[in-house]
Amino acid sequence: MASKELRTFTRDEVAQHNTEGDLWVIVDTKVYDLTKFRNLHPGGASVLLEEGVPGQDATEVFFSLHRYEVLERPQYKRLQVGVIQGEDAKVFPTINNGEISKVPYAEPTWLVEGYHSPYFTENHRRFQQAMRKFVDEYVYPDAQARELDGKRPSQFVVDKMAEVEMHAMRMGPGKHLRGRTLMGGLVKPEEFDYFHELIISQEITRCGARGYGDGINSGMVIGLPPVLNFGAPELKARVVPEVLGGKKFICLAISEAFAGSDVFGLQTTATKTEDGKHWIITGTKKWITNGTFADYFTVGCKTEDGFTVILVERGEGVETKPIKTSYSPAAGTAYVIFDNVKVPVENTLGEEGGGIFVMLSNFNHERWVMCCTSARGQRSIVEECLKWTSQRKAFGKPLHSQAVVRAKLAAMIARTESVQNWLENITYQMCNMSYREQANKLAGPIAFLKMYSTRSAQQTATDAVQIFGGRGITQTGMGRHIEHYHRTVPFDALLGGAEDVLADLGVRQAMRNMPKNARL
Ligand code: HEM
């Protein structure tokens, strides 16, 4: 409704509209006419006629039962007939408005007024502000809509991201950024570092839409590096601009029904044609993120020399089918069938038989990205829980007046802060190490951080459901983010290596570096 149509009323005037046939309420300082809506109200008509509601200020009861976003839906916005004279609104939406949340622990300390950070520069801060505005304006609304209808992320958003070179930036710092105008020129390609990339991952995660989060080019984050780092120049010249420009999509196709972490157990084969000019690829791949809409597949194959990674284009002999998982089809999770697919040998990525090296070279970065998103995901749950326990009353008091609820909040805050602080330390190491040094020195710490982060996230999801009760398992309403998070968070603990595999990797790395003469 345009503001000129809104009238002003005194609270006494509103109080006159207090019957079934003339039913107004005040929420914050907004006046709503619910007379016709009463019988359509999802919570029923009778609750709107209970004592303290008709003609009265129903702010407290409203916010104990509805999210702010209800008031912003066009069909409900229309119900507003006016505002209370001389009073300013006190309740504001606190997500999706491009701003920093004022809720304690809802933001990492570097974004909280009055706190300091040794890692983030003025440039990172400006970049974060631009990124938040971008996500809230373009990505968040699409994420909410696509998460519900299960469609892939809208091309409009992919194009917007390409305009500011976000796809390129998501590949991390490096040569591929040269000559690009990043975020409208806000950061120079040579200035772009892992903290900028951390900001991108964490801001996108704030959308709280896990399937969409993967749908919006996660396949590229894990599938393009082998092309960038190991592809032949002609192949790169063709594929990289299309993908970073958001015009074509790529995915990583390694895991199979037969094998996941055990790449030598894979059964997809690539055999050379007699003239040696082509590979013939046959086999299946499972749980391939973005696979349903990918144009390119970075495929792990069994070859004569062992394990080889080959880029396959969608075409004859390539079929993809959606897999239903616990998160939305927006991620495009696919079962992929390669049936005698003919691929030029020039599409080989790295050495024949050297596939393990191609894969390992990207594991650290991939797992570190997952740590960024896991850290931010659990922080959003902390914010939801702090708001809910403040606005929801039980036994006449806010939920946080119960010691047992406070204990849960304390544990989830402590976990979230420790994950973020450890992440920032590792990110700083990455900024100061060559790629090779990172592989040597950070594989263990990143594996531990990922294991710890996803365990911590799952505990936070469990605690949040206890705090929200039935709403924590309900897909609409107050607990919708909790339900979504609790349902989808186990996936984070699998991708990039299951928790136990990562924990073991970290310890084995440490043991390799044990001084031979160390004794108690
Ligand atoms: C502007 C006025 C209002 C609008 C637009 C509105 C709209 C809605 C909507 C959309 C829902 C479904 C929430 C969901 O997605 O699960 C709902 C549920 C509900 N509403 Fe309202 N409502 C309004 C005012 C009120 C008031 C004043 C009360 C006071 C008692 C109330 C009581 C309820 C209850 C009890 C539910 C069910 C909550 C649940 O299942 O957890 N509503 N309302």
Instruction: Give 336's strand partners.
Output: 285, 320
Of 155, 179, 157, 183, the residue nearest 169 (C-alpha): 183
Residue 491 Cβ contacting ligand 1 at under 6 Å: no
Does any domain span residue 244? no
- Residue 242: inside a domain: no
Q: Is 318 in the pocket of ligand 1 (CB under 6 A)?
A: no
> What is the Å distance from ligand 1's center to 147 Cα?
23
Distance between CA atoms of residues 2 and 6, nearest Å: 7
Cα separation, 414 vs 419, whole angstroms: 9
Please state the atom number of ligand 1 nearest to the C-alpha of residue 66: 13
Domain boundary among the residues 49, 84, 119 is at: 84
Contact (CB, 8 A) for 435 and 206: no
Strand order in 18-19's β-sheet?
A: 7-9, 80-84, 30-33, 22-27, 18-19
Co-location of 64 and 203 in the same domain: no
Q: What CATH number did the domain enclosing 186 receive? A: 1.10.540
pLDDT at position 497 = 86
Residues 501 and 405 in one domain: yes
DSSP string for 393-458: EETTEEGGGSHHHHHHHHHHHHHHHHHHHHHHHHHHHHHTS-HHHHHHHHHHHHHHHHHHHHHHHH
- CA 47 to centroid of ligand 1, rounded, Å: 9
Å from CA of 475 to ligand 1 middle? 15
pLDDT score recorded for residue 95: 62
98: in domain: no
Residue with CA nearest ligand 1 atom 35? 43
Res 264: pLDDT: 76
79 lines ligand 1 (CB under 6 A): yes
Whether residues 271 and 404 fall in one domain: no
Per-residue pLDDT, 262: 75
Shared-domain flag, residues 391 and 481: yes
Q: Which of these, 495, 513, 382, 448, lies nearest to 105 by C-alpha position? A: 382
- How many domains, in total, are found in the chain? 4
Q: Quick one: 129 and 61 in the same domain? A: no
Report whether 391 contacts 65 (CB < 8 A): no
Quickly count helices (H) and strands (E) in the chain.
18, 15
pLDDT of 200: 98
The Cα–Cα gap between 103 and 106 comes to: 5
- ipTM, two decimals, is 0.96
Confirm or reject: Cβ of 228 under 6 Å from ligand 1.
no
Q: What is the pLDDT of residue 4?
A: 52
**Domain annotation covers residue 230:** no
Count other Cβ atoms within 10 Å, centred on residue 465: 18
Between the CA of 66 and the centroid of ligand 1 the distance, in Å, is: 6
Indicate whether 375 and 507 sit together in one domain: yes
What whole-number distance in Å separates Cα of residue 273 and Cα of residue 504?
Answer: 41
Indicate whether 277 and 380 sit together in one domain: no
pLDDT, tens digit (0-9, with 9 covering 90-100), for 18-65: 999 999 999 999 999 999 999 999 999 999 999 999 999 999 999 999
Whole-angstrom distance between the N-terminal and C-terminal Cα of the chain? Answer: 75
Is 389 in the same domain as 469? yes
Helix axes 403-431, 435-468, angle to 10 degrees: 170
Residue 161 CB: number of other CB atoms within 10 A? 25
- The residue whose CB lies within 8 Å of the most ligand 1 atoms, and thus the one to mutate among 24, 65, 81, 474, is 65
| pTM to 2 decimal places | 0.94
CATH code assigned at 315 = 2.40.110.10
Low-confidence ranges of the chain (pLDDT < 50): 1-3
Last residue of a domain, one of 353, 375, 403: 353
In a domain, 22, yes or no: yes
- Asked if residue 190 and residue 134 are part of one domain, the reply reads yes
> In angstroms, rounded to a whole number, what is the distance separating the alpha carbons of residues 97 and 215?
23
- Does residue 176 form part of some domain? yes
DSSP 138: I
Give me the CATH number covering residue 453: 1.20.140.10
Give the pLDDT of residue 325: 93
Point out the domain boundary residue: 327, 353, 379.
Answer: 353
The C-alpha atoms of residue 36 and residue 459 are separated, in whole angstroms, by 44
| Helix 480-492 / helix 435-468 crossing angle, nearest 10 deg | 140
Quick count: other Cβ atoms within 10 Å of Cβ 401?
14
**Is 289 within the bounds of a domain?**
yes
Pocket lining: 81 vs ligand 1, CB cutoff 6 Å: no
Protein residue with its CA nearest to atom 22 in ligand 1? 41
Q: Whole-angstrom Cα distance, residue 460 to residue 463?
A: 5
Instruction: Spell out the residues 6+ positions from residue 491 whose beta carbon is closer than 8 angstroms to its own.
Output: 210, 325, 326, 327
List the structure tokens of 62.
Answer: 């409203």
- 270 and 208 in one domain? no
Residue 343: beta bridge partners? 279
Q: Does residue 518 sit within a domain?
A: no
Query: Residues 369, 502: one domain?
Result: yes
CATH code for the domain of 19:
3.10.120.10
The pLDDT of residue 2 is: 46
Residues 365 and 507 reside in one and the same domain: yes
Return the number of other C-beta atoms located less than 10 Å from residue 131's C-beta.
24
Model pLDDT for residues 453-464, shown as the tens digit of each residue: 999 999 999 999
Kindly report the number of other CB atoms within 10 A of residue 280's CB atom.
Answer: 15
Question: What residues make up the domain containing 283?
Answer: 249-353
Largest Cα span, the chain: 90
